Copies of this chain bind each other. A is one copy, B any other.
Amino acid sequence: MEKTDNNANDLWTEDELLEKTEGIQVHTDLALEARESVTEGEEGIPGVRIEESCSDNSDVKVTRVEVVDERGEKAIGKPKGIYITLEAEQMAVPDEGYHREISKELAHYIGELLESFGCPQSVLVVGLGNHEVTSDSLGPKVLDNLMMTRHLRGENTDGEREKGVRIVSGIVPGVMAQTGMETAEIVRGVVKETNPEAVVVIDALAARSVSRLATTIQLSNTGIQPGSGVGNHRHSLTEESLGIPVIAVGVPTVVAAAAIVYDTVDALSELLEAAGASSAADAVEGMRMDERYQMVRELIEPRFGPMYVTPGNIDERVKRLSFTISEGINIAFQG
């Protein structure tokens, strides 16, 4: 039987569906959210360790999600490693000094991850994303305010280690439409040529929930996976691909438009249930995955490429957060 894109009544296998929905599937770059979507057993999620804490000084809620083994990887769909999330509603709101208290928290956890990598003394910071697209401009903007030091101390990265001042270099590689190259190729080339001991990548992320936008910073020691980020990176930037440890720092700035569609279907089902229309609720919930996919397809029209939901004042939020993060990195590196 032939299948056509327009026939919503065909049944696809789950694999076919996954393949088809690539590009419009709902995805979160936050481990925090990935874990929320999993129904926990009594002992939590197998292979995943979670710790929550609250900073006294800064009203920042810190969640540490550690994916310990393959069970954990499978359960929440993120590779093994540590994911630290700092959440604070005040990030989205102006204060006097670009939230120095959050910069300090961030510096603390960057320091912790650096330590776990044996305190690399020379670091290349990569500002991923597109400076022309506001919601994807976090990486380039963070680099704008970062203190570079590598050129001040000669070009070799050996010797000269003094007082914890690290050797910092940085690059904004641009996006594929601007360069014709994969970001990963550019970064790999620069890493091989300049020999840093670690990479820190900064990127704008896609979240599942609009309430996380610009109120959350995620740190991880796993690098960047294919398909992640607002710009949908096609290749990975990881210790495996670059040969040196990679710390990723990200802030969600968009939600995939498809998420809104799926959420609406769920919300409708609940509403009908609450209103006593159980059979209607069941009918909605029972919609086959291919039907849901078809609906998303028609509503979001993926032929226009990925569609994103973003707040109207994203410019102010990204500007503010990019300062908070570059200050955090400056503190972590220069003490």
Contact = CB atoms under 8 A, between A and B. Distances in A.
B213 A186 contact: no
A218 B152 CA distance: 32
Contact of A149 (B180, B191, B230, B271): B180
A205 interface: no
A267 interface: yes
Given A188-B193, A192-B189, A260-B261, A210 B307 contact: yes
Contacts of A257: 257, 260, 309
A308 B304 contact: no
A41 interface: no
A27 interface: no
A178 B170 contact: yes
A240 interface: no
A238 to B, nearest CB: 16
A92 B268 CA distance: 35
Contact of A211 (B151, B172, B295, B301): B301
A299 interface: yes
Contacts of A311: 304-308
A287 interface: yes
Contacts of A135: 134
Question: Interface majority SS on A: helix, strand, loop or mixed?
Answer: helix
A169 interface: yes
Nearest to A96: B330
A190 B191 CA distance: 10
A174 B172 contact: yes
Contact of A155 (B150, B155, B182): B182
A132 B172 CA distance: 14
A116 interface: no
A313 B305 contact: yes
A21 interface: no
Contact of A170 (B180, B232, B308): B180
Interface string A278-303: 01100110010001000100111100
Contact of A299 (B260, B306, B312): B260
A119 interface: no
26 contacts: A8-B271, A97-B97, A149-B180, A151-B177, A152-B180, A155-B185, A170-B179, A171-B179, A181-B190, A185-B193, A186-B193, A188-B193, A189-B191, A210-B304, A211-B301, A211-B304, A257-B260, A260-B261, A260-B264, A264-B265, A268-B284, A284-B284, A305-B313, A307-B310, A307-B312, A308-B312
Given A169-B181, A275-B283, 4 more contacts: A169-B179, A263-B299, A267-B299, A310-B310
